[in-house]
Amino acid sequence: MAGSKNSTAKKGNARGRSAPKRKQKRNNKFIAALVVFLIILLIAAIIFISVKGLWGGIIDYVKSLLGTEDERPSIPAGTAKLQGDVLEVRMLDIGQGDCILILFPDGKTMVMDIGSEFGTTSPWNVIDGDLKELDIETIDYLFLTHTDYDHIRDAKKLIENYQIKKFYFPRADLDTTETWKKAYEAARAETYLENGEIKKSEYRENIGSYEIVGKNWTMKCYSFDEKDYPDINKKSSAELKNAVSPTCLLEYAGRTVVLTGDSNEKSEEYLIGKGYFDSVDADVLKVGHHGSRSSTSNEFLNKIDCEYAIISCGADNDYGHPTPEVLERLEKYRDPVPDDDYNGYAQVYRTDKDGTVTVQVDERGVMNLISEDDATKNTTTGTPYEGDSSDISGAVETAAIFSKRQTYDCDSIAA
């Protein structure tokens, strides 16, 4: 009997010891499952934040908690204090493509092109981040120069996520590309809410000569006349598709910024022949077609008479943009008739080397050019600010201006 009791006791002790082991195994399985769940949740959160472009806001929020965020923005090195209403043109660094954010001095906003090449990072997070930073929910103008993917890639996405009041689009058959078809259909269906009323967005084709006019600023746009406008479809040559890009002269406070899309020698020759540039004395040129050799002819450079050039292109792109030929033209260019401006090009900026390049013009005509990645290339037509960078009394900071978002009904279109 004693042996039996000892045997029973041993079995009992064995069962007693195995129970905590089973419990421990269950705990381990639970912890492992919890870890896997948390990892999946973290991955999903990262994907969601990336898709929605929320990283900038999260970083700013963390900085504010840590007390590392500056209360007042500094003035970029080598630039001047700006006064009054300011025009700002941001040539965004989005790789091989074009995306330009224009903040007009009367508070209106334009996005000109929103694309990048196949297989490259989408421009969405860049433009969406800037618009959110400026608290912009309604865009006054979406301007697409032509139908190439590297200029319209995220147009439909912009229309879906923001209210667009007015569209300026090329004329092209819907079969030109699927991306163009989706952008066109989204634009024609767009509405926006204003003062509690739902309004139909306006739509205009970039044909002939016309103007977009605001308070103290004008954008003069030139393309082929109705009778000369090419028939653009999926079989059209790249030359024709690019040629319909309007050349626009954005004027404010005696300064002119030339915006070209992918305009080329064909369109340059046509517009010069129409006499549109006969009396132009411009300041900044957005170089056509990312610096392709088929754009930016010497005759065109002579007509617009700029002193600064900006090239939008991707690092190590497969096209060789900007081409050596165009860079040489800009380097060797001299004014045919010397004037009070710089004789030639004082500075050439490239988004692949300088990041986003910003042009600012205040109501006096003082102009700043700012390189995001190379402060040594910052320049101004005014007196560079040399005081404490935190002392910006009297200066105009764009983010502060556009937080007010004034609206004016000053548009006019001349046929």
Residue 389 confidence class, pLDDT cut points 50, 70, 90 = very low
Residue 410 confidence class, pLDDT cut points 50, 70, 90 = very low
Q: How far apart are CA 121 and CA 114, in angstroms?
A: 12
Burial of 342 (0-12, 13-18, 19+ CB in 10 A): middle
Q: What stretch of H or E contains 252? A: strand 247-252
283-330 residue pLDDT tens: 999 999 999 999 999 999 999 999 999 999 999 899 999 999 999 999
| Mean pLDDT value across residues 166-192 | 98
13-41 residue pLDDT tens: 555 556 666 667 777 777 888 888 889 98
Which residues, 6 or more positions from 71, have their beta carbon under 8 angstroms from its beta carbon? none
- Number of CB atoms found within 10 A of residue 138's CB: 16
61-118 residue pLDDT tens: 665 566 544 444 578 999 999 999 999 999 999 999 999 999 999 999 999 999 998 8
322 preceded by a cis bond (ω within 30 of 0) = yes
- Whether the CB-CB separation of 217 and 105 falls below 8 Å is answered with yes
Question: What is the full DSSP assignment across 364-404?
Answer: T--EEEEESS-GGG-EESSPPP-S-TT--TT---HHHHHTS
82-402 to CATH, choices 3.60.15.10, 3.40.640.10, 3.30.420.40, 3.10.350.10 = 3.60.15.10
Whether the per-residue pLDDT at 382 is higher than 80: the answer is: yes
Residue 6 tokens read as: 């000892």
Alpha helices in 212-350 (DSSP H): 238-243, 265-273, 298-304, 324-332
pLDDT of residue 74: 73
Whether the per-residue pLDDT at 2 is higher than 80: the answer is: no
332, amino acid identity: K
pLDDT of residue 61: 63
267, amino acid identity: S
Q: Which residue has the higher pLDDT, 139 or 50?
A: 139
pLDDT of residue 34: 84
pLDDT of residue 67: 54
Question: What is the full DSSP assignment across 304-336?
Answer: H--SEEEE---TT-TT-SSPHHHHHHHHH---S
Residue 275 confidence class, pLDDT cut points 50, 70, 90 = very high
Longest dimension (CA), the chain: 123
Question: What is the full DSSP assignment across 128-166?
Answer: HHHHHHTT--EEEEEE--S--HHHHTTHHHHHHHSEEEE
Whether the per-residue pLDDT at 408 is higher than 90: the answer is: no
Tell me the pTM: 0.78
What is the average pLDDT value for the chain, to the nearest integer? 86
pLDDT of residue 342: 84
Residue 375 confidence class, pLDDT cut points 50, 70, 90 = very high
Please calculate the CA angle 116-119-120 and round it to the nearest 5 degrees.
45
Q: Which residue has the higher pLDDT, 390 or 307?
A: 307
Residue 376 tokens read as: 């040594």
pLDDT of residue 144: 98
